[in-house]
Amino acid sequence: MNVEVTWYGHSTTGITTPMVKILIDPWFTDNPMASAKAEDVEADVIVVTHGHSDHLGDTVEIAKRTGALVISNFEIVTALEQATAGAMHAYSGSKSEGLTKLHALHIGGGHSFDWGRIKLTPALHGSALPDGSYGGLAAGVLLYLGGVRIYHAGDTGLFSDMKLIGEPGLDVALLPIGDNFTMGPDDALQAVKFLQPKNVIPLHYDTFDLIAQDVGEWSARVDRKTGATAQVLKPGETFTLE
Ligand code: NI
Ligand code: MN
Protein backbone atom coordinates (compact mmCIF):
# COMPACT_ATOMS: atom_id res chain seq x y z
CA MET A 1 0.00 0.00 0.00
CA ASN A 2 1.38 3.39 -0.98
CA VAL A 3 1.35 6.01 1.76
CA GLU A 4 2.16 9.59 0.75
CA VAL A 5 3.37 12.08 3.33
CA THR A 6 3.21 15.69 2.17
CA TRP A 7 4.70 18.58 4.14
CA TYR A 8 2.85 21.86 3.52
CA GLY A 9 5.19 23.95 5.72
CA HIS A 10 5.49 24.43 9.52
CA SER A 11 3.67 21.42 11.11
CA THR A 12 1.02 21.10 8.43
CA THR A 13 1.13 17.54 7.10
CA GLY A 14 -0.99 15.55 4.69
CA ILE A 15 -1.05 11.75 4.77
CA THR A 16 -2.78 9.97 1.92
CA THR A 17 -3.44 6.25 1.53
CA PRO A 18 -5.80 4.46 -0.89
CA MET A 19 -8.31 4.53 2.01
CA VAL A 20 -8.11 8.05 3.40
CA LYS A 21 -6.81 11.61 3.12
CA ILE A 22 -5.63 12.86 6.52
CA LEU A 23 -4.54 16.41 7.35
CA ILE A 24 -2.63 17.03 10.56
CA ASP A 25 -2.50 20.58 12.02
CA PRO A 26 -3.90 22.25 8.88
CA TRP A 27 -2.50 25.79 9.11
CA PHE A 28 -2.52 27.40 5.65
CA THR A 29 -3.93 30.94 6.05
CA ASP A 30 -1.20 33.32 7.33
CA ASN A 31 1.36 30.48 7.33
CA PRO A 32 4.43 32.11 5.73
CA MET A 33 5.61 28.69 4.45
CA ALA A 34 2.30 27.29 3.25
CA SER A 35 2.52 25.67 -0.16
CA ALA A 36 -1.26 25.48 -0.63
CA LYS A 37 -4.42 27.39 0.20
CA ALA A 38 -6.98 26.22 2.72
CA GLU A 39 -9.72 26.36 0.07
CA ASP A 40 -7.81 24.00 -2.25
CA VAL A 41 -6.94 21.08 0.04
CA GLU A 42 -9.01 17.92 0.40
CA ALA A 43 -9.47 15.92 3.59
CA ASP A 44 -11.50 13.02 4.95
CA VAL A 45 -9.96 13.38 8.40
CA ILE A 46 -8.36 16.35 10.19
CA VAL A 47 -6.21 15.75 13.28
CA VAL A 48 -5.40 18.66 15.62
CA THR A 49 -2.49 18.05 18.03
CA HIS A 50 -3.13 21.10 20.24
CA GLY A 51 -5.01 24.38 20.41
CA HIS A 52 -2.34 26.90 19.31
CA SER A 53 -3.32 28.89 16.23
CA ASP A 54 -0.40 27.59 14.14
CA HIS A 55 -1.86 24.06 14.53
CA LEU A 56 -5.64 24.55 14.81
CA GLY A 57 -5.21 26.77 11.75
CA ASP A 58 -7.96 26.40 9.16
CA THR A 59 -9.55 23.33 10.75
CA VAL A 60 -13.07 24.75 10.96
CA GLU A 61 -13.13 26.14 7.41
CA ILE A 62 -11.72 22.97 5.83
CA ALA A 63 -13.99 20.68 7.87
CA LYS A 64 -17.08 22.68 6.87
CA ARG A 65 -16.15 22.64 3.18
CA THR A 66 -15.03 19.01 2.94
CA GLY A 67 -17.18 17.38 5.63
CA ALA A 68 -13.99 15.90 7.15
CA LEU A 69 -14.08 14.17 10.51
CA VAL A 70 -12.12 16.24 13.08
CA ILE A 71 -10.13 14.28 15.66
CA SER A 72 -8.50 15.95 18.66
CA ASN A 73 -8.45 15.85 22.44
CA PHE A 74 -11.74 16.06 24.33
CA GLU A 75 -11.37 19.75 25.28
CA ILE A 76 -10.64 20.93 21.73
CA VAL A 77 -13.43 18.80 20.26
CA THR A 78 -15.86 20.24 22.81
CA ALA A 79 -14.71 23.80 22.07
CA LEU A 80 -15.06 23.27 18.31
CA GLU A 81 -18.55 21.87 18.77
CA GLN A 82 -19.63 24.81 20.93
CA ALA A 83 -17.84 27.55 18.99
CA THR A 84 -19.09 26.47 15.60
CA ALA A 85 -22.59 25.79 16.88
CA GLY A 86 -22.65 29.25 18.48
CA ALA A 87 -21.38 30.97 15.36
CA MET A 88 -23.88 29.17 13.18
CA HIS A 89 -26.66 29.88 15.66
CA ALA A 90 -26.11 33.63 15.33
CA TYR A 91 -26.06 33.31 11.54
CA SER A 92 -28.84 30.89 10.76
CA GLY A 93 -30.89 30.49 13.90
CA SER A 94 -30.11 26.79 13.87
CA LYS A 95 -27.62 25.01 16.07
CA SER A 96 -27.57 22.01 13.79
CA GLU A 97 -25.19 23.47 11.20
CA GLY A 98 -21.98 23.59 13.26
CA LEU A 99 -19.20 21.00 13.11
CA THR A 100 -20.89 17.70 13.84
CA LYS A 101 -18.33 15.17 12.61
CA LEU A 102 -15.97 15.15 15.57
CA HIS A 103 -14.20 12.42 17.50
CA ALA A 104 -12.62 13.05 20.90
CA LEU A 105 -9.66 11.05 22.11
CA HIS A 106 -7.23 11.59 24.92
CA ILE A 107 -3.61 10.85 25.60
CA GLY A 108 -2.86 7.15 25.71
CA GLY A 109 -6.16 6.35 24.04
CA GLY A 110 -6.61 5.12 20.51
CA HIS A 111 -9.50 4.28 18.23
CA SER A 112 -9.79 2.10 15.15
CA PHE A 113 -11.62 3.40 12.10
CA ASP A 114 -12.18 1.57 8.80
CA TRP A 115 -9.16 3.47 7.37
CA GLY A 116 -6.76 2.74 10.24
CA ARG A 117 -6.03 3.37 13.89
CA ILE A 118 -5.08 6.62 15.62
CA LYS A 119 -3.69 7.06 19.12
CA LEU A 120 -2.83 10.25 20.98
CA THR A 121 0.60 10.30 22.61
CA PRO A 122 2.04 12.67 25.23
CA ALA A 123 3.66 15.96 24.26
CA LEU A 124 5.42 18.46 26.52
CA HIS A 125 3.71 21.66 25.44
CA GLY A 126 0.70 23.93 26.04
CA SER A 127 -2.67 23.80 24.30
CA ALA A 128 -4.66 27.01 24.93
CA LEU A 129 -7.09 27.83 22.13
CA PRO A 130 -6.66 31.11 20.19
CA ASP A 131 -9.35 32.87 22.28
CA GLY A 132 -7.51 31.85 25.47
CA SER A 133 -9.92 29.10 26.44
CA TYR A 134 -8.72 25.76 27.80
CA GLY A 135 -7.53 23.31 25.17
CA GLY A 136 -6.58 20.38 27.41
CA LEU A 137 -3.15 18.83 27.02
CA ALA A 138 -1.02 19.02 23.89
CA ALA A 139 -0.57 15.68 22.15
CA GLY A 140 1.31 13.83 19.48
CA VAL A 141 -0.28 11.37 17.07
CA LEU A 142 0.48 7.75 16.27
CA LEU A 143 -1.14 6.44 13.09
CA TYR A 144 -1.43 2.80 12.05
CA LEU A 145 -2.34 2.75 8.37
CA GLY A 146 -2.36 -0.81 7.07
CA GLY A 147 1.13 -2.02 7.93
CA VAL A 148 2.56 1.51 8.03
CA ARG A 149 3.22 3.30 11.32
CA ILE A 150 3.67 7.07 11.42
CA TYR A 151 4.33 9.33 14.42
CA HIS A 152 3.69 13.09 14.23
CA ALA A 153 5.06 14.62 17.43
CA GLY A 154 3.09 17.89 17.30
CA ASP A 155 4.89 20.56 19.34
CA THR A 156 6.95 19.06 22.13
CA GLY A 157 10.12 19.12 24.14
CA LEU A 158 12.24 15.99 24.35
CA PHE A 159 11.04 13.22 26.68
CA SER A 160 12.49 9.77 27.22
CA ASP A 161 9.12 7.99 26.81
CA MET A 162 9.67 8.50 23.09
CA LYS A 163 11.44 5.15 23.46
CA LEU A 164 8.02 3.58 24.18
CA ILE A 165 6.35 5.41 21.31
CA GLY A 166 8.96 3.99 18.95
CA GLU A 167 8.77 0.46 20.31
CA PRO A 168 6.26 -0.97 17.77
CA GLY A 169 8.62 0.21 15.00
CA LEU A 170 8.04 3.42 13.06
CA ASP A 171 8.23 3.90 9.31
CA VAL A 172 8.19 7.69 9.62
CA ALA A 173 8.59 10.13 12.50
CA LEU A 174 7.74 13.80 11.93
CA LEU A 175 9.56 15.91 14.52
CA PRO A 176 9.84 19.61 15.33
CA ILE A 177 13.43 20.89 15.19
CA GLY A 178 12.96 24.68 15.36
CA ASP A 179 13.99 25.29 19.00
CA ASN A 180 12.52 28.11 21.15
CA PHE A 181 8.95 26.67 21.32
CA THR A 182 9.83 22.99 20.76
CA MET A 183 12.82 20.68 20.58
CA GLY A 184 15.79 22.20 18.84
CA PRO A 185 18.18 20.29 16.57
CA ASP A 186 20.21 18.63 19.37
CA ASP A 187 17.16 17.37 21.27
CA ALA A 188 15.45 16.34 18.03
CA LEU A 189 18.54 14.26 17.20
CA GLN A 190 18.23 12.57 20.60
CA ALA A 191 14.51 12.03 19.85
CA VAL A 192 15.48 10.14 16.69
CA LYS A 193 17.78 7.94 18.79
CA PHE A 194 14.89 7.23 21.21
CA LEU A 195 12.26 6.63 18.51
CA GLN A 196 14.44 4.67 16.05
CA PRO A 197 12.23 5.35 13.02
CA LYS A 198 13.23 4.27 9.53
CA ASN A 199 12.67 7.80 8.20
CA VAL A 200 12.45 11.18 9.88
CA ILE A 201 10.90 14.36 8.48
CA PRO A 202 11.78 17.67 10.21
CA LEU A 203 8.96 20.14 11.02
CA HIS A 204 8.37 23.47 12.73
CA TYR A 205 11.48 25.32 11.53
CA ASP A 206 12.24 28.33 9.28
CA THR A 207 8.64 29.57 9.45
CA PHE A 208 9.85 32.65 11.35
CA ASP A 209 13.36 33.96 12.13
CA LEU A 210 12.95 32.79 15.71
CA ILE A 211 12.87 29.13 14.62
CA ALA A 212 15.31 29.32 11.71
CA GLN A 213 17.59 26.26 11.53
CA ASP A 214 20.24 24.73 9.27
CA VAL A 215 18.17 21.72 8.20
CA GLY A 216 20.91 20.42 5.89
CA GLU A 217 23.34 20.21 8.79
CA TRP A 218 20.71 18.51 10.97
CA SER A 219 19.81 15.94 8.34
CA ALA A 220 23.51 15.12 7.84
CA ARG A 221 23.82 14.49 11.59
CA VAL A 222 20.74 12.22 11.52
CA ASP A 223 22.20 10.21 8.66
CA ARG A 224 25.63 9.99 10.34
CA LYS A 225 24.63 9.36 13.96
CA THR A 226 21.36 7.39 13.84
CA GLY A 227 19.89 4.47 11.94
CA ALA A 228 17.21 6.72 10.42
CA THR A 229 17.21 8.42 7.06
CA ALA A 230 16.37 12.13 7.11
CA GLN A 231 13.79 13.03 4.48
CA VAL A 232 14.01 16.80 4.15
CA LEU A 233 11.04 18.09 2.18
CA LYS A 234 10.39 21.51 0.69
CA PRO A 235 6.89 22.84 1.39
CA GLY A 236 4.56 21.01 -0.97
CA GLU A 237 6.90 18.03 -1.45
CA THR A 238 5.80 14.45 -0.85
CA PHE A 239 7.65 11.45 0.57
CA THR A 240 6.14 8.17 -0.61
CA LEU A 241 6.35 4.91 1.32
CA GLU A 242 5.77 1.84 -0.82
NI1 NI B 1 2.24 25.07 19.92
MN1 MN C 1 3.59 25.40 17.03
Mean pLDDT of 141-161: 98
Q: Rounded to an integer, what distance in angstroms lies between the CA atom of residue 231 and that of residue 236?
A: 13
Backbone angles phi, psi at 103, to 5 degrees: -140, 120
Q: Could you tell me which of 109, 127, 129, 104 has the C-alpha nearest to residue 119? A: 109
Model pLDDT, residue 1: 83
Least confident of 85-94, 108-117, 208-217, 233-242: 85-94
Distance from residue 89's CA to the centre of ligand 2 (Å):
31
Distance from residue 129's CA to the centre of ligand 1 (Å):
10
pTM for the model:
0.94
Distance from residue 128's CA to the centre of ligand 1 (Å):
9
Closest ligand to 203 CA? 2
Distance from residue 25's CA to the centre of ligand 2 (Å):
9
Instruction: Using the predicted structure, report yes or no on whether residue 94 has a pLDDT greater than 60.
Output: no
Distance from residue 181's CA to the centre of ligand 2 (Å):
7
Mean pLDDT of 58-69: 95
Residues 8, 29 contacting (CB under 8 angstroms): no
Distance from residue 204's CA to the centre of ligand 1 (Å):
10
Q: Could you tell me which of 168, 185, 183 has the C-alpha nearest to residue 226? A: 185
Q: Rounded to an integer, what distance in angstroms lies between the CA atom of residue 135 and that of residue 127?
A: 5
- Residues 71-82 pLDDT 10s: 999 999 998 888
